[in-house]
Chain A
Amino acid sequence: MAAAASHSIHDRPWLDPAQKPFIQIQGVSKQFGPFVAVDNVDLDIYRGELFSLLGGSGCGKTTLLRMIAGFETPTSGRIVIDGEDMSSVPPYDRPVNMMFQSYALFPHMTVEQNVAYGLKRDGVAKAEIQSRVNDMLGMVELTQFRKRKPHQLSGGQRQRVALARSLVKNPKVLLLDEPLGALDKRLREQTQYELMNIQDRLGVTFVVVTHDQEEAMTLSTRIAVMDQGYFQQIGTPTEIYEYPVTRFVANFIGSANMFEGRVASQEDEIAEVTVDTLPVPIRAEHAAPLAAGTRAWVAVRPEKVQLSREPFSQAGINMLEGQVEEIGYYGESSTYRIRINEDVRLEVTHPNLRRPRDGRHLAEWEDKVYVGWEPGAAVVLTS
């Protein structure tokens, strides 16, 4: 994430008004009967991006991907790829390849034939097909299984065949529906690395659907968080994590402590929110002006809360007093659940900087502790 900050505008084409988006999704909706699967979505994706779609099950990710690939016709709106309106372009003429969530491997063809199929349809010379298929199978470590049929493969192997089959054609746009779900950790990291490599080398534009937020955070140039057919937020991993704009995003990506209250005042981009269940108002950063009395939620991430046995002395810090109720020890860090009062619990993640002394961690069960965070560590959400 530190690296992301040092990137120039060339790596962030969405900030450059002179750049033309490569994929434009304009007011696209998809209805199945009365059910709205994708709801009036606008999205620009730029050349060479690795764009992730993140969201819960059934929120319309696959449907959106299928519309880009041409298997579903939008109920309204249009999709433009590389300046060309795709409305009347059939799937086989689109400069797009898709890896299906179900893999969709041809059961009557061997691994090799599956991977070669797309190249054959393009009329690539035999020798070239052979060498490209070999390279691809080498990359996904399936060379020894080349003669097998899909039903003779394990789930992870099938997934790699599907990946290889969609990559081998070097399309301008690659749509990947949960590409790495069934892989073990080592292969997963390797394939992630390989995907980034391909993207660098060939400038392919990726649109990746994933359930795995960690994967989305590390791979993506940008992430769209989707819920019930529309985008809650589109932004870089840092923006999404540090500046979520809705409660859904704050809870979906990472975890957050959330306090509901009303805006009391706002001064120098710091809002003060009174929370009924807390004795003191909470102060949090918010640049946009907020009217007093607005219903608002303050969200603060567990790792941004400090924990101490002594009261904090800094001025302006939000400080609460509580009791340790629960400790989860993860080795490199511990998560404490702090009971502030009957209604409020606060989660705090603290790195284990030192070994426990005399068998005692930073705090133990039933200890009286102070928790605190700076206004800049929290965000105010209004929806």
Chain B
Amino acid sequence: MNPKRSRFLFSVLCFGMAFLYVPMVLLIIYSFNNSKLVPIWGGFSLRWYKVLFQSEDVWAATALSFKIAFVNATFAVALGTLAGLALVRFGRFRGRTLFTGMITAPLVMPEVITGLSLLLLFIGLQGLIGWPSERGFTTITIAHITFSMAYVAVIIQSRLSGMQEDLEEAAQDLGAKPLRVLFDITLPLLAPGMLAGWLLAFTLSLDDLVIASFTTGPGSNTLPILIYSRIRLGLRPDINALATIIILAVTIGVIIFGWLMLRQQRQRERDMHEAAAS
């Protein structure tokens, strides 16, 4: 490659990187700003972190978000796995096409529509049977499960269709009834997919602003709702601090995940070597 072209490519790369990361760096820097006004630098301080840690709203919102994410991820994995199994292993049952469509619809449906329809449902139900009496944790969690489970189902579906069916047949051949096969063979082999699905559902739920805003009620703020409602009244330095903490948490999470993957890969390579040598 000629040096001129490579310099051009390099500057494009730098520009792209800058576009992605400069805003985040700015955000981190300004979270240490000692001034009340975000855009004006007033010296280094941890003042906003202190404000943040003393704010009960933030703690409550964080706790709610994590609680919803956790329950959502768990239910989404359970239901999504069942749906994936039904799609791949039950052959051509009646209404399969309809079922497939309905499973994947939440993936492409605009969030406002999902949110709005769920809100209508909850209000309707409340009028009809008195449940849910108030909107908050339960309604947001249910809303999140409806779309997270679609993602899990897709992950499980792709893992299952890649998995050889003959493993399950071999287990049956050795005397295992279908339910035993599910617990002894299918689910253990699906475990990595289920973990990935769980993590994805967890993240999606933590991330979600639109659907949560539709289905929440007074007093139940998730973290994204809290951040958004505060920002609406203007930039705030304590929110910068909160964002910095979130960035830190995500970075640490990604590093740990990458390290685990690397270790697993190394292990696999070592195993292959051993097998070849023996």
Contacts and interface: CB of A to CB of B under 8 A. Distances in A.
A151 B174 contact: no
A58 B236 CA distance: 71
8 contacts: A69-B173, A71-B172, A90-B172, A91-B173, A106-B171, A122-B175, A151-B272, A157-B275
Interface in A86-138: 90-92, 96-98, 100, 102, 104-108, 117-118, 121-122
Interface residues of B, number: 24
A204 to B, nearest CB: 15
B268 interface: yes
A286 interface: no
A104 B271 contact: no
B173 A92 contact: yes
Contacts of A117: 171, 174, 176, 184
A102 B172 CA distance: 16
A118 B184 CA distance: 12
A153 interface: yes
A287 B171 CA distance: 51
A154 interface: yes
Given A104-B164, A108-B188, A108-B189, A98 B175 contact: no
Nearest to B181: A92
Given A92-B173, A92-B176, A154 B276 contact: yes
Interface string B169-200: 11111111100100011001100000000000
Interface string B116-152: 0000000000000000000000000000000000000
Contacts of B184: 117
Contacts of A165: 170, 174
A152 B271 CA distance: 5
B164 A118 contact: no
A121 B170 contact: no
Nearest to B163: A107
A151 B166 contact: no
Contacts of B185: 106
Interface string A136-171: 000000000100010111100100000001100100
The 9 closest A-B pairs by CB, nearest first: A118-B174, A121-B175, A104-B170, A104-B166, A91-B172, A152-B271, A92-B172, A152-B275, A108-B188
A104 B172 contact: no
A149 B172 contact: no
The DSSP consensus for interface residues of chain B is helix
A190 B268 CA distance: 32
A116 to B, nearest CB: 10
Interface of B: 164, 166-167, 169-177, 180, 184-185, 188-189, 268, 271-272, 274-276, 278
B173 A98 contact: yes
A145 B278 contact: yes
Nearest to A96: B173
B74 to A, nearest CB: 22
Contacts of A105: 170
A178 to B, nearest CB: 14
A71 B185 CA distance: 17
Nearest to B274: A152
A106 B167 contact: yes
B174 A97 contact: yes
Contacts of A151: 268, 271-272, 275
Nearest to B167: A104
A280 to B, nearest CB: 56
B271 A169 contact: no
A102 B276 contact: no
A149 B170 CA distance: 17
Given A100-B166, A104-B170, 16 more contacts: A69-B169, A98-B170, A100-B169, A102-B164, A106-B171, A107-B167, A107-B189, A108-B188, A117-B171, A117-B174, A117-B184, A149-B271, A152-B271, A153-B278, A165-B170, A169-B174
Nearest to B191: A108
Given A97-B173, A154-B278, A165-B174, A121 B180 contact: yes
